[in-house]
Chains A and B, each alone.
Chain A
Amino acid sequence: MASATIGTGTGASASVNTPAATGSGELGAPLYIAWQVTNECNLACLHCIEESGPGKAFHDELSDEQVFAVLKQTLDLDVPYLSFSGGEPMVHPRFFDMVEYVCARNGQLKIETNGHYLEPENCARLKELGVKAVQVSLDGATRETFNRMRVRGDFDRAVQGIRNLRAAGVPIEINFSPTRFNVHEIGAAVDLAAELGAYSFYTGRTMYTGNAVKTWHRMAPSEAQYDDFFKVLHGKTEEYRGRMRVHFHEMGLLEELRYRLQHPAALLIVLPNGLVKLINALPFICGDLRRQTLGEIWGRFQQAWQDPRVAKFVDDLAADPRATSTLHQWVYL
C-alpha cells in the first residue's frame, strides 16, 4: 500500500494512505460508506455480484423515513465520503432527494451507475447538486461485448450518458469488469474512457459470486488472459499518467481478505435493507441500521472483524476459492 509523509515529522506531520488502507481502529467514524440503495436494476448483467435485475428489489428495503434517518446519522458523524450504488441507484424513487440531502450538507458523494439514466437533464441536475463524481460501468469498448455482458443494456446509451455527463461538467469515472469475451478490449476501453473525459478508470478481477456463479463457465477469463490484461493496464497507467488515473487491483481476493483481517478498512457496506456488511467479499453482517445507530455499529466494527468465523471463512477460501458463491447467505456476527 502506498505510503508517504508530508511535514518532516517532529512538528506538524501527516501520513498518507488510501481509504482502504487506512486502519479503522482509532477513527471515531467510518471514512467511507458504500450504500447499495436498492437491489432493483434495469439490467441483468451476467457478472452482477449483487444478482440485481428487474424485479430484484429486496422486499424489505429501507423506507424513505429510514433512508433519510441513516443519511442524517452519516452526515452528523461527519463521514466524509459516500457512494450510492445498487442495483441501479438512479431507479430509486427518491434518488435525487437523497443526492440533494447529502450534497446540501457538504457530503462528498459518488454515484455508481450503469449509465442508462444519464439524460442531459439528469446530468445537469447532478452537476447542480454538486456530486463529487459519477462512475459508469463500461464493460467493453464495443457494442458487441458490452451488450453481451450487460443483458438489456445498450452500449450506445451508456456512452451517450457519459458524453452527457461531460457536457454538464460532472467528473467521470469508468469501471470495467473483465470477462473471457471482453478482456482483450481492455486497452481500447481505457482509451475510450480517456476520450470520453474520465479522470479515473477502475478495474480488477471479476468475482465468483452473484450472477457470475451461474455464468462462470462461459465468462471467467483464464489466468493467461489476466496476465495480458494486467500487462496492458501497466502500460496504460504510464501512458495516461497525469491525465487519467488507471487504477486496478491485481491482487487476488484471498490476499486482499488476508490483509483486511489485519487491517479492516474504514469502510462500511450498507445493503438496501439496512444490513451492514464487513466487506463486500465476505458474507458477514455486523449491524442492522433498522435497529442500531450507525455509531453503535461502528463501535463494534473492529470486534466483529475479530470473530473467529471471519478468519475461518478466509482460510476456507484458500482451500475452495468457490466459497465466494455463498456471499449472499448472510452470516450475522
Chain B
Amino acid sequence: MKLAKYVKFREEKFGGVLFETRSEKVYTLNPAATAVVREIQAGSDAADIPARLKARFRDDGGAIEREAVTFITELRQKGLVED
C-alpha cells in the first residue's frame, strides 16, 4: 500500500496534512493519523500498522488499534491510498 499518485503528505507540529491535489482537499491529521500515514509512506504492510500504533500510543481499551483499522479503510475508500 502507498499514497495515491495525487496525494502529498507533510508532517506538522500538530500532526500532519494530506493534500489530495486533484480534488484539492486537505486532510488535517492528528498525531495518531499522522503515524498511520507515516507507516504507509514507509511501506509498512497495512495489516501490521494497527499493532505498531498500539505499541507507540497509549491505547486504553484498544481504541487506537480499532481507529487505525477504520482510518486505513477510509483512506482506501477515499482513494487516498492505493495498492
Contacts and interface: CB of A to CB of B under 8 A. Distances in A.
- Interface of A, secondary structure class, is loop
A102 to B, nearest CB: 12
A248 interface: no
Nearest to B49: A12
Contact of A14 (B23, B30, B35, B63): B30
A108 B28 contact: no
Contact of B33 (A14, A18, A81, A266): A14
A245 interface: yes
B64 A80 contact: no
A100 interface: no
A80 B10 contact: yes
B24 A19 contact: yes
A78 B66 CA distance: 31
Contacts of B13: 26, 28
A18 B66 contact: no
A6 B74 CA distance: 6
Interface string B48-83: 000001000000000111111011001100100000
Contact of A6 (B6, B26, B66, B71): B71
Interface residues of A, number: 32
- Identify which of B23, B27, B67, B78 gathers the most chain A CB atoms within 10 Å of its CB: B27
B14 A7 contact: no
A6 B67 CA distance: 10
B17 to A, nearest CB: 7
A29 B8 CA distance: 14
Given A108-B8, A132-B6, A7 B21 contact: no
Nearest to A81: B21
A17 B35 CA distance: 20
Interface in A218-268: 245, 266
Contact of B22 (A6, A18, A133, A266): A133
Given A27-B12, A31-B19, A8 B27 contact: no
A132 B22 contact: yes
Contacts of B19: 19, 31, 80-81, 108
Interface in A4-43: 6-19, 22, 26-29, 31
A15 B67 contact: no
A171 B12 contact: no
Contact of B26 (A19, A110, A132, A245): A19
B17 A31 contact: yes
B21 A16 contact: no
10 contacts: A11-B32, A11-B70, A13-B32, A16-B26, A19-B24, A22-B17, A28-B10, A29-B10, A81-B8, A110-B21
Interface of A: 6-19, 22, 26-29, 31, 78, 80-81, 106, 108, 110, 132-133, 171, 199, 245, 266
User: Which 6 A-B residue pairs are closest in the complex by CB-CB distance?
Assistant: A11-B67, A80-B8, A12-B71, A12-B33, A12-B32, A6-B74
